[in-house]
Structure 1
């Protein structure tokens, strides 16, 4: 019997992360034993290498502003596990988490005994708890973010109203494949027969795979740049003002509350998916509500401003495409300022390439460090060897403890400078506790 919040987390995090053979059969069995709580709800299903969480946050804010009840499932969490499961912007309570973990744990024990490969994984359990919770709440729509990939992801047991593929880039190659086409094949697994799919700008090989899958599934494909367009109209402004055109919205203008140029495309994808959902249920598309949603949206740890002067940002750019997006933001919005970077990256990421991208910028001062990491199996990378090979304008510094490194850099800043903490969402989670930005 699980009686405390801590015991619930220990049970969840104590489960294996992966099994040898990808399958949805175990997840379907788990849900069947729980009474199929996933049935009878409406979903928007979101995958992509980067941008998933931001797109979910924007859609949630817009749909709430439209007066709908909204459930959401995102990962990873930044401060507390409860962030992953929300209803109308409020996290699942500790009591509900304990109660539903107990319910799921009883079935997990049964499946541990009965299944040859053992019972459900950690993420399958997270997903089951979420379905049980939202089945009780009965929101008008559930925004469902995949964990990894799509085809075999434990969320892929539903028929969505709309599918979304934000981006396709290099990440999780061990599980998804070593080409962009192979990675896209996994992500395209969330496309369902006759259900529309919205995509951001994808590399050509990935786009081809998605287009073919959509054709095979007779799914309407809406593509950024072809079926809907967006432009940044605000010049070198950290929080962009956009002009969007697509579906029933013509000449739609709005300032985004999330910083970084990559949020321009994310906003366009979110706007298109929200319109499709509303139109599918003959609900009005309220321009003022969409503007309000995008103006108010919050998403922790993604170019999140935690101090205004000097500007301090936390950015969980946890893979190569994420770092490339950060580099573009620095080039576009902070080219005339000195930018100080505190960087820590997990050892299972492409950390040499990620650091190389940052070191190529002429206005950055880099300090590398390390942090605890989410588990002993996933440690922080030792970046001290990598920096010996890198060419950079300013010498790259090393901080044995990130707390001391942060203090050192903060002490060097003038009011015009920018400090960005980046490299891993788990690292951001630790650093964020210095700030009361909840």
Structure 2
């Protein structure tokens, strides 16, 4: 057992050595020992290659407007570990983390002695989250999937609504190397009779999702078919505006303060998820509550403007689908402006293809860098994966200082790549 928050966190992070073990046997064992806390919560379960965090943020703000207290389980964290388990955007306290670790620790020691073996760090944190929310701290809990869906630690849950935001090529070594295979894994979160809201996915990926939904008798609501976006435009004051429509509601000129077409799509998925959630539970959600919730939504590290002079933006575009969306936003909203990009990535990502995408943006110059993390690629490793012109500065703080000197009054400094990297950069800016 642990006496301090620091000791508890140190033990938790040492769980990294257990690596990644997909499968729900260990989670099932832990849930049984904890008297099945996951069955005591009303939840929305959110899977997807990209857009999970933003969609959770939109849903959270809309539901908060109705007066509900909203718990969230998200990853990774940007500033402190406690963010992963939050209520109404407020991370749980250090004392709560310590209490939860001490609750789960003896069970982990017991589990390690069984044939199932030790749980992973993510399994332990997921168990902590379910134990906490099972105590009744929130009216509704938004649970973000870690990786995939079917075999993800969070998938011991039967939610009120399931959400699949996007399907893209990521974690292919685990989930499969085609969109239908990845969609099949993610659609593993669909439970019998539980409605599922689906964002922008290809037709072949959608086929995999509908196949699962038919087997479980679940209704599917797809962006572009069951609900639609129209009259999308970028607003002058950093944001987007659009109309939303489905069979029951029409919302005119909805505004969000997050930039990019993909964020409009995430917002639309969130509206439909809230609608299905409220219909199932008989809750009243007004149009004005949706409008206000959307307008207030902010998600750190996603096209986040942190300075006007010089103009600095952070964006955690950590895989090829995210860079595709980012590049489209740059072409739509920053046409003709010189853009300096500082980029760092994890070794297991499709770095070459991500760099090719950046090369399609006119007036963009790219600098590769690195950061302290076991799976981080070095700047040289990044540069070796492209024939395009690229600067190499391995220490990111040196690279940042260099680019801050170079970016002119008309230029933009975009810091992007791994969310772990964005977390470090963000900490530096906000500490100072």
TM-score bucket (shorter structure): over 0.9
Aligned CA distance change for structure 1 residues 102 and 168 (closer, same or farther; 3 Å): same
**What is the TM-score when the length of structure 2 is the normalising length?**
0.96
Aligned CA distance change for structure 1 residues 8 and 250 (closer, same or farther; 3 Å): same
Q: How far apart, CA to CA, are the structure 1 residues paired with 2:258 and 2:234?
A: 16
Moved more, 422-431 or 359-368: 359-368
Contact 2:160 2:194 in 1 (8 A): yes
Residues 248-284 of structure 1: CA deviation (Å, up to 9, x unaligned): 3214322102122210100000000011111222222
Alignment of 1:292-331 (within 5 A): 292-331=292-331
Alignment of 1:250-269 (within 5 A): 250-269=250-269
Residues 132-167 of structure 1: CA deviation (Å, up to 9, x unaligned): 111223422110000000001111111111100000
Residue in 2 aligned with 1:387? 383
Residue in 1 aligned with 2:158? 159
| Secondary structure in 2 matching 1:233 | strand
Unaligned runs of 5+ in 1: none
Contact 1:5 1:95 in 2 (8 A): yes
Alignment of 1:10-409 (within 5 A): 10-16=10-16, 22-113=22-113, 115-235=114-234, 238-373=238-373, 376=374, 378=375, 380-384=376-380, 386-387=382-383, 390-392=386-388, 395-409=389-403
Aligned CA distance change for structure 1 residues 8 and 226 (closer, same or farther; 3 Å): same
Q: How far apart, CA to CA, are the structure 1 residues paired with 2:247 and 2:60?
A: 19
Q: How far apart, CA to CA, are the structure 2 residues paired with 1:186 and 1:97?
A: 31
Unaligned runs of 5+ in 2: none
Offset, 1:222:
0.3
Offset, 1:21:
6.0
Q: How far apart, CA to CA, are the structure 2 residues paired with 1:10 and 1:285?
A: 42
Please, which of 406, 410, 415 is the counterpart of residue 409 of structure 2? Answer: 415
Q: How far apart, CA to CA, are the structure 2 residues paired with 1:429 and 1:191?
A: 32
Q: How far apart, CA to CA, are the structure 2 residues paired with 1:302 and 1:236?
A: 17
Contact 2:323 2:354 in 1 (8 A): yes
Q: How far apart, CA to CA, are the structure 1 residues paired with 2:244 and 2:20?
A: 44
Offset, 1:130:
0.6
Aligned CA distance change for structure 1 residues 270 and 389 (closer, same or farther; 3 Å): closer
| Secondary structure in 2 matching 1:120 | coil
Aligned CA distance change for structure 1 residues 75 and 128 (closer, same or farther; 3 Å): same
State the superposition RMSD in angstroms.
1.8
Residue in 1 aligned with 2:418? 424
Q: How far apart, CA to CA, are the structure 2 residues paired with 1:173 and 1:211?
A: 21
Residues 362-391 of structure 1: CA deviation (Å, up to 9, x unaligned): 220111111111xx3x2x213435536635
Q: How far apart, CA to CA, are the structure 1 residues paired with 2:72 and 2:382?
A: 39
Aligned CA distance change for structure 1 residues 341 and 264 (closer, same or farther; 3 Å): same
**What is the TM-score when the length of structure 1 is the normalising length?**
0.94
Residue in 1 aligned with 2:2? 2
Contact 2:336 2:362 in 1 (8 A): no
Contact 2:18 2:118 in 1 (8 A): no
